[in-house]
Structure 1
Amino acid sequence: MKSSSKPISVLLLLLLCAFIATPRAHAHVGSKDVFEQVDAGPYKLFVTIRTPTVIPGVATVEVRSSGATVKNIHITPLPITGEASKHPPTSDPMTNSTADPAFFTGSIWMMASGSWQVRFEIAGDAGDQAVSVPVPAVALSTLKMQHGLGITLGILGLFLVVSMAGIVAAAVRDARLEPGAIPSPNRRRRTILATAGSLVSMALLLWGGAAWWNVEAASYALDVYHPMSVMPSLSGNLLDLNVQSYDGGKERTFRSNKDFLPDHGHLMHLYAIREPEMDAVFHLHPALASAGDFRISLPTMPAGTYKLYGDIVHANGFPETLVSTITVPADMPGGPLGADDASGSPPPLSQSPLGNSYKLPDEYVMVWDRPSAVSANTAYAFRFHLLDANGKPATDVQPYMGMAGHAAFVKTDGTVFAHTHPEGSAAMAALMLANDNTASHASNHEPMNGAMGMDMTAHNEPLSNTVEFPYGFPSSGPYRIFVQMKHGTTIETGVFDVVVP
């Protein structure tokens, strides 16, 4: 969608229906695409969904399968909740790569903004299965017409206007003349008046078209995603986060501050990262004191300015990351960390970049299997290992809030933040909601085994010391990665730096 106030450009926009958009942040800040690893019975899928930047728009879907052999996959877009979720449209087949039988590609239309899911219907050697991946679908921005295109269309528009005026002039001057006759002075005067009148009429049409277009552009802008605002205040060490409902002026753009779902047992996951050196990080969990009002007693924190990223999930499965800033004074009294809270104190960014091995405070070590090369807009499964004080694989790894680990990928300028899990970048609450609906509408399929990954209930057996996080860097630049794993009763925070070319 584009907006332009130039009448000629507006006319040609209407004639050619051309529009261009550029991405902007939503849900995870600066990361619009979805990366997810899901299990559907014996089938394992690494899913990448590249969401459109305008709605309606086309999302591209990529799947790499493992486990049991997959013969074909059909995909269907539908809302996670509501009446429309009960009436899915006809599914579309994905295309199987001739060079790589385990790789599938496809595309689907996302017809409205909101909390959507892509349902995967899988057929293979182990029978039929179904699994869903949640997708927040929103219009992200508008963009003015490209300068070169605007000039080209303006010239063409001027040519059309002049040509139309010329046709009117010729019709008035010559339509009733005998062949070879010369127009009289009176006919010439009428020709001039008709030409001027036609130009005035076309100018009025262009003005009316421009006014209509601007109204449509303003209406569309109401549907462009705007995150809910949050107003932080700090009294002593009590942090109060007042989340405001968002009302874009239309019912479909309203988002409430009273409908949050727990995700990993908490209504908000809050990362506080000290700026500009990113040398202090806290993963905290404020509690809801009243509608839209989250509060937490902060632990002891180094003084400074902190960028806050608060992840929430609405009742329909739509996730948001709320961004704000606080300043922690040097004399702030601090309390202990909560049971699920974590902290880290890495070296500042201004020092040498952190490598593949990060020594933790209790002599444990976290190691990153860094890819030989990374690039933007490419899906990876980033793998990390936890080693004990003797350099051996840790044997006492425990679930951290029901997961093998948590990670945050943060661009050093703050334009990208993504809190991810071993399953991927989708919120666990949305993933569970989507697959609960899929199970209820797929009675002809066998039950999914492990579609949600690890059981969220109590887990007493030690886990593997290795954890993977599906993710793709959305843009080039320097990033800092914070990885949390738990061994025994200790929550560790490993930190790694990477520059994406």
Structure 2
Amino acid sequence: MFASTRPAVRRRALAVAGTAAALALALTACGSSNDGSSSMPGMDHGAKSSASASAKATPSMGDMPGMDHMADGNGLSDNKDGYRLTSKDTTLAAGKQAAYRFTVNGPDGKPATDFAVDQTKRMHFYAIRSDLTGFQHIHPIMAADGTWTADLDTLAPGAWRMFASFTPDSGAGKGTAFVLSRTVSVLGPETKTPLPAAAKTAEVDGYTVTVKGEPMAGMARPMTVTVTKDGKPVTDLQPYLDTYAHLTAFHEGDTAFAHLHPTTKVNGDLGGPELSFNAELPTSGNWRLFLQFQTGGKLHTAALTLNVG
């Protein structure tokens, strides 16, 4: 009797071992897919797990200026992962300077006050009208209670979107980059401006900015920007926000946000004429690019339209 039962016992043991191995393999696969799913184009990549996975996959990225804290996604929501952008300002007056006040509430519902420095600032604030005009990039001031004040230049009537870009330095979101936004109505009759046609060059204050590269929706692609004046290379670009140029983009139609991260390191007091960026635009269509650079202590902002396939 004992001789006849041993083969059955062995078969059951092998079956159990096989099931355990299959289960372990499935769990390993699930763990891999969780990391990968957060890197899908157009998805918010604020989770620290996906950020660490990206860092392991591309260790050189941490050496790039502006790459330590990258906020992916389109920035069109006022909340993410428990953090919420709040403001009592829903309307602003047209034709004059205005102060926009806001707070960033943490997962506990209280205003967050501890923010990491990113490109020399703890908060980057952007304002753009629905027709992608009136671009403003501001570094607001925070009061002790966590209330930020962004001093806006004159606003034209229409629908505006206000973006806050930040990285908490403590709490559940420590080290995670966020871009949140809210809409504001600027009172008065609105006159929309048609979006300029796509172009590879733009003029500002006597400078010519030329963009090279073929960005693809949802893919990280290299892009270079060359700055010239009177046909000659500009080599006296001064550091601005820990880089030689700051590049921001907004999508036509929904005003989705993208920050094109610089990869040219600041090496000395002056730079140029060619600057490199890591362009990752989440959706196809027309994007309005705003390049900010500084010479002789003066900040210049060049704007051009880029079509992304």
TM-score bin (small chain): 0.5 to 0.7
Which of 270, 286, 289 is the equivalent residue of 1:481? 289
1:59 aligns with 2:67: no
Amino acid at match of 2:208: V
Structure 1 pair 230/419, CA: closer, same or farther in 2 (3 Å)? Answer: farther
> For residue 419 of structure 1, what is the aligned residue in structure 2?
259
Paired residues of 1:407 and 1:421 also in contact (CA < 8 A): yes
Paired residues of 2:207 and 2:228 also in contact (CA < 8 A): yes
> For residue 123 of structure 2, what is the aligned residue in structure 1?
268
Correspondence 1:436-455 to 2 at 5 A: 453-454=265-266
Structure 1 pair 58/243, CA: closer, same or farther in 2 (3 Å)? Answer: closer
Q: CA deviation at 1:405?
A: 1.1
> For residue 305 of structure 1, what is the aligned residue in structure 2?
159
Q: CA deviation at 1:256?
A: 6.2
| Offset from partner CA, 1:405-430 (integer Å, 9 cap, x none) | 11112211336312233139xxxxxx
Q: Distance in 1 between matches of 2:71 and 2:35?
A: 10
Question: SS in structure 2 opposite 1:280?
Answer: coil
> For residue 217 of structure 1, what is the aligned residue in structure 2?
none
> For residue 206 of structure 2, what is the aligned residue in structure 1?
363
Paired residues of 2:132 and 2:255 also in contact (CA < 8 A): no
Q: Distance in 2 between matches of 1:327 and 1:392?
A: 43
> For residue 105 of structure 2, what is the aligned residue in structure 1?
244
Structure 1 pair 237/256, CA: closer, same or farther in 2 (3 Å)? Answer: closer
Amino acid at match of 1:386: V
Amino acid at match of 2:86: V
> For residue 228 of structure 2, what is the aligned residue in structure 1?
387
Identity %: 22
Normalised by the length of structure 1, the TM-score is 0.44
Q: Distance in 2 between matches of 1:289 and 1:232?
A: 16
Gaps of 5+ in 2: 1-30, 40-45, 73-79
| Offset from partner CA, 1:356-399 (integer Å, 9 cap, x none) | 11111x2211111243xx432222111111111x1211132111
Q: Distance in 2 between matches of 1:280 and 1:476?
A: 23
Structure 1 pair 490/244, CA: closer, same or farther in 2 (3 Å)? Answer: same
1:326 aligns with 2:134: no
> For residue 405 of structure 1, what is the aligned residue in structure 2?
245
Structure 1 pair 262/352, CA: closer, same or farther in 2 (3 Å)? Answer: closer
Paired residues of 1:272 and 1:308 also in contact (CA < 8 A): yes
Paired residues of 1:379 and 1:470 also in contact (CA < 8 A): yes
Q: CA deviation at 1:267?
A: 1.7
The structure having more radius of gyration, on CA atoms, is 1
Gaps of 5+ in 1: 1-53, 63-111, 124-128, 139-223, 248-253, 331-347, 425-452
Question: SS in structure 2 opposite 1:117?
Answer: helix
Q: CA deviation at 1:499?
A: 2.6
Q: Over aligned residue pairs, what C-alpha RMSD do you find?
A: 3.8
Question: SS in structure 2 opposite 1:57?
Answer: helix
Question: SS in structure 2 opposite 1:58?
Answer: helix
Paired residues of 2:111 and 2:145 also in contact (CA < 8 A): no
Paired residues of 2:129 and 2:160 also in contact (CA < 8 A): yes
Q: CA deviation at 1:302?
A: 3.3
> For residue 16 of structure 2, what is the aligned residue in structure 1?
none
Q: Distance in 2 between matches of 1:469 and 1:478?
A: 18
Structure 1 pair 464/58, CA: closer, same or farther in 2 (3 Å)? Answer: same
Amino acid at match of 1:409: A
Paired residues of 2:132 and 2:250 also in contact (CA < 8 A): no
Q: CA deviation at 1:498?
A: 2.4
Paired residues of 2:69 and 2:177 also in contact (CA < 8 A): no
Q: Distance in 2 between matches of 1:130 and 1:356?
A: 27
Q: CA deviation at 1:294?
A: 0.3
Q: Distance in 1 between matches of 2:201 and 2:62?
A: 36
Paired residues of 2:167 and 2:175 also in contact (CA < 8 A): yes
Paired residues of 2:128 and 2:161 also in contact (CA < 8 A): yes
1:377 aligns with 2:218: yes
> For residue 117 of structure 1, what is the aligned residue in structure 2?
52
> For residue 76 of structure 1, what is the aligned residue in structure 2?
none
Q: Distance in 1 between matches of 2:112 and 2:118?
A: 16
| Offset from partner CA, 1:74-102 (integer Å, 9 cap, x none) | xxxxxxxxxxxxxxxxxxxxxxxxxxxxx
Amino acid at match of 1:357: T
Q: Distance in 2 between matches of 1:130 and 1:355?
A: 29
> For residue 19 of structure 2, what is the aligned residue in structure 1?
none
Q: Distance in 2 between matches of 1:279 and 1:384?
A: 21
Amino acid at match of 2:181: V
Q: Distance in 2 between matches of 1:229 and 1:469?
A: 28
Q: CA deviation at 1:137?
A: 10
Question: What is the aligned residue count?
Answer: 250
Q: CA deviation at 1:352?
A: 4.2
Structure 1 pair 495/351, CA: closer, same or farther in 2 (3 Å)? Answer: same
Q: CA deviation at 1:122?
A: 9.7
Q: Distance in 2 between matches of 1:271 and 1:471?
A: 19
| Offset from partner CA, 1:291-319 (integer Å, 9 cap, x none) | 33101332234343321111011112111
> For residue 231 of structure 1, what is the aligned residue in structure 2?
87
Structure 1 pair 58/266, CA: closer, same or farther in 2 (3 Å)? Answer: closer
Q: Distance in 1 between matches of 2:86 and 2:241?
A: 25
Amino acid at match of 2:178: E
Correspondence 1:269-288 to 2 at 5 A: 269-275=124-130, 277-288=131-142
Structure 1 pair 278/499, CA: closer, same or farther in 2 (3 Å)? Answer: same
